[in-house]
Structure 1
Amino acid sequence: MELRVRGERAVLGEEADPHQVALGADLADALHEWARVAAAVRRSNPDREAAAVVSQRGRQLAGRVAEVTGTPVYYVDPVTDAGSVIPPPEALVREPRPPEPTPWVTGLTVAAFVAVVVFVAMLALARTLAAETSGLLAFVAAVLVTAGLAPSLWLGRKLPILRWVVLGAAGGLAFSWIGVLAVVFG
């Protein structure tokens, strides 16, 4: 990625506006403000101190762009037209940490508790509807509950903490169908 000043605008790459790149509004605004100052300094025969301040600010902003994007930024100094590569900070380049161990005991305890709750709730629903109305209505209600929970369970199956709740709810639903069928057809 390249950072330079064109006119009074900061551009990334060929002609990309910083607001069009996922940098955040604050960084994009800072880049445009720096570009306006750099253009004013360039027009007014800058002294060394002003040129050094603009160059230093440009390197700082290029470092922030490199941090946000995770890639090196080729920075073109607006006063001297000298180019340099600004690498991303070391924190983004280091190796990822190994995953934490899976909490099997705690997770399976939560899953067992949720399975019992779902199992009892499904059987209570089926038994109450079968006793008060008909077995067919109890069957339809069990199908609707299962079909309503299925998409949520599918989406939550890979979430680190909720996967245990999903496991328990899915197990409770599966085992409750034995009882639902016994209530409906028994």
Structure 2
Amino acid sequence: MELRVRDGRAVLAGEDESGEREVDPHSLPLGADLAEALHEWAKVADAVGRADTPADGVAGALVARRGRQLAGRIAAVMNSPVAYTDPVSGELVSVDVPETPADEQEEPADTPEEPPVAEEQEPTPWGTGLTVTFITAAIVTVTVVSLSLGLGETSRWLALVANVLVVGGLAPSVWLGRNVPVWRWVAYGVVAGVLVAWLALIFTLL
């Protein structure tokens, strides 16, 4: 079985008596949540690919890592190795079935179960994170405002198109980075910077 992206949709390819077939994840017993996660990932991967993002860039790396994670979940559910084709680089990777940890094996019936131990969660680095967000927002704000004002002297429509292209190019990276522990702060800064820049441009035009 192979996980692929086809026209912004996730498909699973396999061989049967009639040859190779590609099927929608919803047609397999994967669960609705996993199937929806696959299609969400495929949409972002397709957008990153259309934007000609470098395969070794941040967006490409996030797409690849998320794809391998989803392929691992498919392998665990189907109990079979899954091949994963990176939609950005085109690299084919084989993902094996995750091994069952020893502590998840069944214990004898007469052995009382021990209460689960709560895992300690690392504290959220608000200070460092907000600093990164502020710096990123400042850079994005200055860049967008400078670009817009420079192009606006020639044509306001040209400035508008440039803003749309900038936001469209940043959107896939921001969408992928919103849940990544480190890059989420950068994503917040990008969103805040674009919004502040647009507000500044609106007040400039008034």
TM-score, structure 2 normalization: 0.44
Larger helix percent = 1
